[in-house]
Amino acid sequence: MILAHKIALAPNNAQATYFARAAGVARFAYNWALAEWGRQYGAHKTDPAQPKPSQAALRRQLNAIKREQFPWMLEVTKNAPQMAIIQLGDAFKNFFAGRAKYPRFRRKGVHDRFTLTNDQFALDGCRIRIPNLGWVRTREALRFSGKILSATISRVADRWFASITVDTQDLTHLPKAENQGAVGVDLGVSALATLSTGEVITGPKAHAALLKRLRRLSRSLSRKQKGSANSKKARARLARLHARIANIRQDALHQLTTGLTRRFPVIGIEDLNVAGMMKNRRLARSIADMGFFEFRRQLDYKSEMRGGEVVVADRWFASSKTCSCCGHVRESLPLAVRTWTCPDCQARHDRDGNAAINLKHYAVSSTVSACGGEGAGPGGNARVKPASSKQEVSKKLSMGSFG
């Protein structure tokens, strides 16, 4: 299994300056290759005799001209521009396969990162050796043992991190899931998650809690003269606040998903149309603040690592409108209705709790059906979602792990 461990770095001023230069070189190479790719592809469409662009050809082209035209690129590791062009090639593969949109140019301050191959860096306890720079202190040692594949150095606000990718077979750091049966998880806006066990996790709602401060810092930045020293300071303060909001959200999601995968071997969730939900202008901010996609991503790989299953219900499965006691399905259930009474069995339901129980039934019936049992019930079309082979792993990402 391919895992990644993101480790905070502790560079001095000279090392941070080198990181910024290397990230700038990588960004320039990526943008140069993207512009050149478009130019060469247009020439090929006009004249089919012209070769199609490729990342290998663009790397050779840049190597041939960078010593004369871009000598400043030689001040940092050669991996920075080369890996950036390889990443552009992967982006075009995803674009032509229909998995992603057309690649966009990288922006300074937004995409500050560069990648190193495994033969260009070394790890020794709580330090990493960067080519042309030397040893840089890290906040913790690598958690996983195995073959190291690559490292990506990136900046978040004013802090630098190294994401180490490892191919490992040793997953003993995570024990198998406890045998507490199946659980249904209903995600929402008022509460992050409602479990079929009756537990309700409200979630931190970090963006809403810090929105007033976020608006004040954004207003302060807009009033600064562009390019001035005060503008840079205001931008840094705003970036730190955005990073803090993201860290609070990540910490809550990691604690929730780790607890679920540790306790339950079978977890039932809904296949939410997050993109469609974000089009609701009244709920978009609250939905984004919960991090539904990140919850699903973490749940997938953590469950796979602990030997569990994530059963994904179809997005049209009527989890809220179906009575979890008798199976009666209501014709409609407006979002404002939080509790309702079944007209058949007179059972009174909380909307979210009832949905979680139905998702649990869905997960149980689908796993029984997958194992050759009889009768899938309402979960006959359930889909068991295993984790993908390449995931970014962090058992618990807290504010303290960055310090």
The residues carrying an active-site annotation are: 186, 270, 352
Strands 383-385 and 309-313: what pairing? antiparallel
Q: How far apart are CA 157 and CA 289, in angstroms?
A: 19
Judging by beta carbons within 10 Å of its beta carbon (0-12, 13-18, 19+), is residue 49 exposed, middle or buried?
exposed
- The counts of H helices and E strands in the chain are 10, 15
49: Cβ contacts below 8 Å, ≥ 6 apart: none
DSSP calls for 313-368: EPTT--TTTB-TTT--B-S---TT--EEE-TTT--EEEHHHHHHHHHHHHHHHHHH
- What is the DSSP annotation of 285-308? HHHHHHTHHHHHHHHHHHHHHTT-
Q: Which of 216, 303, 314 is nearest to 272 (CA)?
A: 314
Task: Work out the widest C-alpha separation in the chain, in whole angstroms.
Answer: 81
b/e sequence 246-284, b meaning 16+ C-beta within 10 Å: bbbbbbbbbebbbebbbbbbbbbbbebeeeeeeeeeeee
Q: Are strands 200-201 and 159-167 parallel, antiparallel or unpaired?
A: unpaired
Structure tokens at 5: 């461990």
Contact (Cβ atoms closer than 8 angstroms) between residue 15 and residue 131: no
What is the C-alpha separation between 19 and 42, in angstroms, rounded?
A: 35
CB 245 within 8 A of CB 203: no
